Amino acid sequence: MGLDELNAQVERNRRALGDEAHVPLDGQARDELAFLAAVLGTDADEVARRAVHEYLRVLLGNQVLDAHLRQKYGVTYDEYLAGREIDDARPQTRDDDGRGFL
């Protein structure tokens, strides 16, 4: 597997989701979503959108996402963002804020 396979799967998932994702919730998740919406003063859809962003951030921060990407596709998140695989023998270019996105 590689970057092409990852991009193809992401696109299949994107098409399958369409414009709106309807996710069945168990009782605990429903209660927690309702609680967060009340505390944050927003609707459940906004809480769910924020949750996806936060989950991605957490997985990136603890390197779990890269571990899964390497295991399944043989690439890293930086390579996914760059749209190309990076040769490990070359030094990686980092952007001005040091995040490592190319």
Tens-digit pLDDT profile for residues 17-63: 988 888 999 999 999 999 999 999 999 999 999 999 999 999 999 99
* Prediction pTM value: 0.74
**Domain range annotation of the chain:** 1-16+44-102
Q: What is the mean pLDDT of residues 64-69?
A: 96
pLDDT at 87: 72
Run of H or E residues at 64: helix 64-73
Run of H or E residues at 44: helix 44-61
Residue 101 clears pLDDT 80, i.e. is over it: no
DSSP assigned state of 2: -
